[in-house]
């Protein structure tokens, strides 16, 4: 009897580029805009998340009223080229408007965005994203908050309030990184420092 060789494991699904935008408001009691993914979503259903989604092909060539800051581009390019860095900013602005009704303008102003961290879905997951998490002050955002239905219970959450909830591991980690970023001097925020990156449920510095 001939032994049948074991079937080799399937290669991991590709991690598609994605961008999420943390809209931050308030001074002494900061709040961030979040909403609940519906039960019908294939990726992270019934989880509280930030507005965001995958990069579309059209995002690479889409115009913007202002460019990402040079320091933001430099940090995004640790794992992306300049065109993808631009597309990530466009995707963050586009998803914000599609999911919340809030806007960075048409075309969007990208100069006010900063870059906090990156999270890559583990290889064992059937749906994977290589997500960059950007942040913008609510004062630079226009429009009226009116969800499209993609995110439920869309509202402003106090940071401490959000951290007390049952959050997905990556979401909690991003909020903790946001708190660290907020505590930094603005000059240090713009420094070409390593980018915190979540891989296989562990944070690394890229």
Whole-number Å distance between alpha carbons of 14 and 121: 10
pLDDT band at 40 (very low <50, low <70, confident <90, very high): low
Q: Which residue in the block uniquely carries the two structure tokens 């009691």? A: 29
Residue 65 lies in a domain: yes
Residue 57 lies in a domain: yes
Residue 149 lies in a domain: yes
pLDDT band at 45 (very low <50, low <70, confident <90, very high): low
| pLDDT tens-digit map of 132-157 | 999 999 999 999 998 777 888 899 99
Residue 39 lies in a domain: yes
Residue 6 lies in a domain: no
Residue 88 lies in a domain: yes
Residue 22 lies in a domain: yes
**In 44-185, alpha helices (H):** 70-76, 82-100, 159-163, 169-183
Q: Which range of residues forms the domain containing residue 160? A: 15-205
- As a whole number, the mean pLDDT across the chain is 91
pTM of the model: 0.92
95: Cα separation from own chain's centroid: 10
Q: Quote the number of domains for the chain.
A: 1
Residue 39 scores a pLDDT above 70: no
Is the distance from CB of 68 to CB of 40 less than 8 angstroms?
A: no
Residue 8 lies in a domain: no
Residue 180's nearest CA partner among 122, 114, 96 is 114
For residue 120, the domain's CATH number is 3.90.79.10
Q: What are the residues facing 49 on neighbouring strands?
A: 35
């Amino acid at each position: 009897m001939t032994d049948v060789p074991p079937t080799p494991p399937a290669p991991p699904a590709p991690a598609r580029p994605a961008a999420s935008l943390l809209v931050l408001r308030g001074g002494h009691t900061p709040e961030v805009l979040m909403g609940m993914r519906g039960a019908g979503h294939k990726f992270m259903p019934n989880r509280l998340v930030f507005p965001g989604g995958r990069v579309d092909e059209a995002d690479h060539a889409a115009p913007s009223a202002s460019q990402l800051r040079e320091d933001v581009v430099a940090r995004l390019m640790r794992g992306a080229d300049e065109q993808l860095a631009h597309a990530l900013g466009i995707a963050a602005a586009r998803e914000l408007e599609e999911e919340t009704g809030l806007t960075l303008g048409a075309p969007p102003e990208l100069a006010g965005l900063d870059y906090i961290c990156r999270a890559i879905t583990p290889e064992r997951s059937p749906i994977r994203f290589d997500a960059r998490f950007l942040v913008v002050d609510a004062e630079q955002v226009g429009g009226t908050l009116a969800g499209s239905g993609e995110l439920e219970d869309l509202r402003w959450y106090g940071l401490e309030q959000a951290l007390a909830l049952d959050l997905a591991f990556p979401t909690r980690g991003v909020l903790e990184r946001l708190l660290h970023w907020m505590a930094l001097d603005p000059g240090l925020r713009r420094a070409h420092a390593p980018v915190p990156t979540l891989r296989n449920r562990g944070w690394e510095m890229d």
